Structure 1
Amino acid sequence: MLEDKNQKRTSVSELGEFGLIDHLTEHFEITQESTVKGIGDDAAVIDFKDKKAVISTDLLIEGIHFDLSYMPLKHLGYKAVMVNLSDIYAMNAMATQITVSIAASNRFPLEALEELYSGVQLACRNYKVDLIGGDTTSSNKGLLISVTAIGEAKEEDLTYRNGAKENDLLVTTGDIGGAYMGLQILEREKEVFKVNPNNQPDLSPYSYIIERQLKPEARKDIPQLLKELEVKPTSMIDISDGLSSEILHLCKNSNVGCNLFEEKIPLDQQVISTCEEFELNSTTVALSGGEDYELLFTISQEDYPKIKANPHLTVIGHMTALSEGIHLITRANTKIPITSMGWSPFNEDKNNDKND
């Protein structure tokens, strides 16, 4: 894809580091009042006045977190921002600024990096965050992207992982498992393409789950929705490594147990049908798939009437005493201990190399 001879190829070395930064960021606009100084000095300056700053960083590495044989560079730029904004929203905060650093090998001409940054710019525009800095350097290992997201929140609104209480309800946004099944489709078609490069797959039946993998959306709407509903979560986390891993994080940090009900896990019909096609258990996919970037949080039972009719939110379980453990309650009403089955970047089993 990157070796198309008809494409113009401008060597990055023609611009130099600072020229490259200026070129890639010249069309980014400042939209946040808190951005005092963006790109162009030794450091950015932001002013949140009476609010708390929230900061999160993620590193994405080619061959570990993404595969450019089916991940368009524009989508990759967009997704790299989403991964980080999701962490800010998981603190019940609003994202305001990002920095983006890249290391690219010489197989990436200027035009490829322009495409990558067009995705970053689209994410900034859609989510109203400012690009305020970053770094560029060369790499002999393909492409690496590091994004740092900065957000703000009033101290009383911040939500951590350690506030869940016994009898709190466990709630998730959206639906689970789509990103992992989208990855399975893309990996399958990649193998078909290797055998028959002339094959043009029809991916339209899988459009939703492929989009969940290639162009996920962070849940910016949820902190605002919860505020409108007058609901303050007792704990919160984003679902990046699989539902089971995130539940275990909440339980560990809050010193509670949990009962998760299999029948309550929200699954899109496309996820269910694709799981059947691949002969995969949809509950296992939801528990261990990851990359959904939905939000998982707990609320007190008194707040249930405020959320029960909302189509964006689903109660999937409740927290228990620590001594009761962490269990999946199956449709057959049996209790199965939940163990961490989420994706790990340090897993050497290539069959488990899912994007984080």
Structure 2
Amino acid sequence: MEERTEINSLGEFGLIDHLTRNIEIHHAGTVLGVGDDAAVIDHFGKQTVVSTDMLVEGIHFDLMYTPLKHLGYKSVVVNLSDIYAMNATPTQILLSLAFSNRLSLEALDEFYEGVYAACERYNVDLVGGDTSTSQKGFVISVTAIGEVAPDQYVKRSTAQKGDLLCVSGDLGGAFLGLTILEREKQIFLENPKIQPDLENETYAIGRQLKPEARPDIVEFLAEKGIRPTAMMDVSDGLSSEILHICKQSEVGCVLYEEKIPVHEEARALAMKLGLDPTACALSGGEDYELLFTMKQEDYDKITLNEQIAVIGYMTDAAEGAHIITRGGSKHAITAQGWNAFK
């Protein structure tokens, strides 16, 4: 039997001391971290970028199939992805939690193991946060702070007609991983004696449970002297993100179905589940890839990067946002992405 320590045996300050006892500071800019009334950060003449995200049990994650260590890791990564989407580098995070007495101290330690693994992997410092009791369910709020050279940040609203539309990595995998996990959860609920069968779909399930952000793309673009004209991360599905850029930049676009990058394993899994791989990429979400527009004259600089796909181009707003299918027919792009309020 695993040891279980009740969290209330430590008290709030004892708990904070316990969870933050192993923090290592990596950035000279982190002047003062955990343990005072506020953290102190000096960005040495750079501009500060700040983003916050909340993850709520039962809405954004399900503890029936999400290991706590993976959840800690993912909670950090999804926030860092927003900083990279501004063409910036994350440097610090704040983490706040609310949890019921269902969680033991050992469970929280496991969650923090994932948090620290992500901090290590992405070179960010955990500098503060808050903990609270919750009547039921686990609530996680992460604020990420980053830095960018003056006025080098990239917004969603600055794409222009004629720009190329690009995306990093591949799409649809996270949604397919979630589909398998949800299916097995239903089977288990109906018959707890049946062992979950994840069908060796490690790629798709990994994309869902342990996503990664894309600092490599931001670094590559900087190296090549490319400043995207607009950028955002793909958290709610490609179609709704494209429409955000079109709406905020007041442009239209043409997207080519055959250019949308889908991993071979994701494509095979979609077929096996009777799903359309393109629909998974357009509407699935949680891929945390970067969607960006750039000037046509920069095209030659990205041709050798296999992690960047040019999937279309921007047009006049009057032309609307369309997808051209493999068969050559043209359809309006509709936002069917993930919606936390549905």
Shorter-chain TM-score above 0.5 = yes
Q: Secondary structure at the residue paired with 1:92?
A: coil
Q: Secondary structure at the residue paired with 2:200?
A: helix
Please point out which of 44, 50, 55 is paired with 1:55: 50
Hey, what does 2:25 align to over in structure 1? 30
Please point out which of 160, 168, 171 is paired with 1:165: 160
| Pair 1:300-2:295 in alignment | yes
Q: Give how far 1:202 is off.
A: 4.4
Hey, what does 1:269 align to over in structure 2? 264
Q: Give how far 1:192 is off.
A: 2.1
Please point out which of 8, 19, 22 is paired with 2:3: 8
Deviations 1:270-322 (A, max 9, x none): 11111112211111111110000000000100000000121110000000000
Please point out which of 72, 89, 92 is paired with 1:94: 89
Number of residues paired by the alignment?
Answer: 342
Please point out which of 216, 220, 232 is paired with 2:215: 220
Please point out which of 256, 260, 267 is paired with 2:255: 260
2:184–2:198: 8 Å Cα contact kept in structure 1? no
Q: Give how far 1:29 is off.
A: 0.5
Q: How does 1:77-156 map to 2 (within 5 A)?
A: 77-156=72-151
| Pair 1:41-2:41 in alignment | no
Deviations 1:120-163 (A, max 9, x none): 01000111100000000000121000000000001242111111
2:239–2:333: 8 Å Cα contact kept in structure 1? yes
TM-score under structure 2 normalisation?
0.98
- Counterpart Cα distance in 1 of 2:60 and 2:294: 32
| Pair 1:18-2:13 in alignment | yes
Q: Secondary structure at the residue paired with 1:316?
A: strand
| Pair 1:75-2:70 in alignment | yes
Q: Secondary structure at the residue paired with 2:334?
A: coil
Hey, what does 2:245 align to over in structure 1? 250
Hey, what does 1:280 align to over in structure 2? 275
2:239–2:337: 8 Å Cα contact kept in structure 1? yes
Q: Secondary structure at the residue paired with 2:77?
A: helix
What percent of counterpart residues are identical?
Answer: 59
- Counterpart Cα distance in 1 of 2:265 and 2:191: 26
Hey, what does 1:182 align to over in structure 2? 177
Hey, what does 1:346 align to over in structure 2? 341
Q: Which amino acid aligns with 2:337?
A: G
- Counterpart Cα distance in 2 of 1:125 and 1:266: 29
| Pair 1:318-2:313 in alignment | yes
Q: Give how far 1:91 is off.
A: 0.3
Q: Give how far 1:206 is off.
A: 0.6
Runs of 5+ unmatched residues, structure 2 = none
- Counterpart Cα distance in 2 of 1:47 and 1:28: 19
Please point out which of 324, 327, 331 is paired with 1:336: 331
TM-score under structure 1 normalisation?
0.94
Q: Give how far 1:204 is off.
A: 5.4
Q: Secondary structure at the residue paired with 1:260?
A: strand
Q: Give how far 1:339 is off.
A: 1.4
Name the Cα RMSD after superposition: 1.0
Q: Give how far 1:196 is off.
A: 3.4
Hey, what does 1:351 align to over in structure 2? none
Q: Which amino acid aligns with 1:301?
A: Q
2:47–2:151: 8 Å Cα contact kept in structure 1? no
Q: Which amino acid aligns with 1:15?
A: L
After TM superposition, the runs of 4+ consecutive aligned structure 1 residues lying more than 4 A away are: none
- Counterpart Cα distance in 1 of 2:123 and 2:294: 28
Q: Secondary structure at the residue paired with 1:211?
A: helix
2:95–2:126: 8 Å Cα contact kept in structure 1? yes
Deviations 1:83-141 (A, max 9, x none): 10000000000000000000000110111111111110100011110000000000012
